[in-house]
Structure 1
């Protein structure tokens, strides 16, 4: 007998059945409990036998600490130290730009690969332009030099008006250099998203997001190609191209 859906309570037939969290769901009913986004077996997270998306997965709560005089003093001291450290870091990094992505082993590996690809592309273009310049110079020299035929005693020089016009020297165009292509990851938005903070970006379903870098399991950093906006975005709203 076909079981009922855990959300709409209607019968779930085998062709549209999702068996997850010890329950049965229609594919369209397997949604996030908070934002109602349709989920699948790859991007859902279960909590209390209910499905959630990565952005709305319930966070673990911590035990509250009583506000004793000692705890209040430590809290105030920590706050002062944080402000002092923040001011020192701000003064130290002033004028060096802003980077929202922390330096991780994965980002270091991507940066190293980009440098290697850039060096290889530069050497290829250099060798290609050097070969083109050498061939152009050889062709130019062969055109400039033309052996004169031997004259016999009975040869009469033609009048100036009947002489052949001087040959023109061929100047080949300079070799064009090409910039190495971007090696950043490319993703396509599968849902609309509106930025909830100043360091986030908004995009629409189908937008192409380039130069994407993974920050953690739930967030990325990239640029929307349509608008040119750069910032953070939720990882479960996009898919790799």
Structure 2
């Protein structure tokens, strides 16, 4: 290497170490959104938050320049008004003309109208910002829809106005104020009710009119109960007429249509044995002997002298006693 060349090289290195290299500022301009090339000199257009060569900011459909003109962005691409309306504008459901960008597009279930065309089919009243109903591809104001198509209350038979609350039960429907007990006419609301013969009763009225009631206390029998002579009784109400003992599940006898337990019936009404003086109730198929207005249990019908049973045998009366023929002979001797 030539000595002078070496010196110059060392000098450059020393200069570099003493003066750190500065970053070179880029002289490259913004990139065009149309051609993706840098915009270096001349005028350019800024639109849709991007930069464009003036000649590249044009309609994505017809390629006409848009700089200084009205345009419509769609899916991140610019369109002139004519191309946008031709390709993307909706047709009005009434007049069938395109709904341009200068008109308000009112839509309902994939259908579109000019604001001025959005009217009731029957009365031609504007429906903008109003309640409306749709039937068979036609639209109606609330009043016209209700008059022609609204269902009617099973109570007052008036139409249900749009937005009115309904009470429904088994394909029948009522206004909230019409859903009342047919007996007391009180609105039922969310309370319990009972249907009967196409009528609606509140629980209280239904119990008063139709629920099974005890013949004694006249209150509703909610569960269980006893039937006596085809009449319903509460278990606790079906008691012995004399001692008030419950007869539910017990043996009992009636007299004059009144129930009595076996003990009370025997004490009050049964024949009494001429021997032991206890009642002859007949409970359990008990057999007894009757003779001249006198009565005996089978087991009590025996000879007063020898105590031999006289059931099925002849006997002889001796004042209040009965004796067998053998004892009668002995008494005569």
The structure with more radius of gyration: 2
**Which is richer in helix?**
1
Q: Which has the higher contact order (CA 8 A, sep 6+)?
A: 1
With normalisation by structure 1, the TM-score equals 0.24
